[in-house]
Amino acid sequence: MPENPSSVVIDDLVKRFGDFVAVDHISLETRKGEIFGFLGPNGAGKSTTIRMLCGLLIPTSGRAIVAGHDVAREPESVRQNIGYMSQKFSLYNDLKVIENLRLFAGLYSVPSDQLKERIEWALEMANLKGQENLIVGTLPGGWKQRLALGCAVLHRPPIIFLDEPTSGVDPISRRQFWDLIHKMAGDGVTVFVTTHYMEEAEYCNRLALIYRGKMVALGTPSELKQKYMKGELLLVECDPLGSAVEALQSAPMVMDAAVFGNALHLVVVQAEPAIPQVKQYLAQHSITVRHVDRIPPSLEDVFVSLTTERRNGKEGKAS
């Protein structure tokens, strides 16, 4: 197994808590400078996997190599060679901005001759120049988020783990944060990020879709949409939605139907012949149809399709 200091290598990783399997035989490898996403709903096993990769939890079985170190045998070496940012930002709210930076610099053993330059860099990155003496607990969520990232990478780690890093922040702050992530990846840092925001997953170079502890799919966003979306997708705007989705569950031309916002997404074998059939079928069930059109699938559509298969007992194997 390679021990590239900029990579994460996971081989048949398992974590059990009693009889509950939180992480179920996951295997994958990241590349230097890659933004690798763990996508899945809350409780899927994403954070448990991250905590094992950071040396904070011991795997039940399997192996993981992070920054060239075995997470089970060398957890302290792992922690010294990574950055970690949790969804709660891991900041000390009663301390000042500058005090948090100095504290984390000490925890990460930043050399004293580099301390001033690294703190200046973190302040610049977080757009907090001139705000050094503010109490962290008074900062807006987006500011805390950028500061937490600066604290996590003060020691210039080759790999950084971001566990739901944009949870609870506004969309503008979220986009600014992703700009920072892409800049770090461009500098050769491997970024491992967990998220349940489907639109964020599009920013990743590759993704692992996680469901009930299992990796159900692996690939680039484009690959996942091409490989795992069975059939073609229709957008249906109609009223009432509840009655429409219930009726369409038994429609012969529909493979799957789900509510997306104020419309429906239907999976059909072929869109062109299905459009008039869907209109006619809904009209027969007293549903008012305003618009039906073919649309490209999103990652959310792919994820819904894959998880529906597993709920129905059609277990598949990720590739």
Instruction: For residue 69, report the phi and psi dihedrals to the nearest 5 degrees.
Output: -125, 140
Same domain, 142 and 262: no
| Contacting residues for 68 by C-beta, under 8 A, at least 6 apart | 3, 4, 5, 81
Is 309 a member of any domain?
Answer: no
**pLDDT one-digit tens code per residue, 229-252:** 778 999 999 999 999 999 998 899
Instruction: Tell me, yes or no, if the pTM score tops 0.75.
Output: yes
Asked which of 197, 225, 253 is the last residue of a domain, the reply is 225
- Which two tokens mark 200? 């964020």
Same domain, 237 and 219: no
Asked which of 173, 197, 225 is the last residue of a domain, the reply is 225
Is 276 a member of any domain?
Answer: yes
* Cα 253 from chain centre: 33
Same domain, 206 and 68: yes
Q: Which of 48, 50, 87, 86 is nearest to 192 (CA)?
A: 50
pLDDT at 87: 67
Is 285 a member of any domain?
Answer: yes
**pLDDT one-digit tens code per residue, 73-91:** 999 999 889 999 886 667 8
pLDDT at 317: 40
Same domain, 124 and 186: yes
Same domain, 292 and 185: no
Domain extent, residue 255, equals: 230-296
Is 318 a member of any domain?
Answer: no
pLDDT at 5: 62
- Rg of the chain, C-alpha, whole Å: 23
Is 303 a member of any domain?
Answer: no
Asked which of 225, 240, 257 is the last residue of a domain, the reply is 225
pLDDT at 318: 41
Q: Report the number of distinct structural domains present in the chain.
A: 2
- What CATH number does residue 256 fall under? 3.30.70.100
Strand partners, 194: 38, 163
- Which two tokens mark 300? 């959310």
Same domain, 54 and 196: yes
Low-confidence ranges of the chain (pLDDT < 50): 1-2, 314-319
Same domain, 138 and 272: no
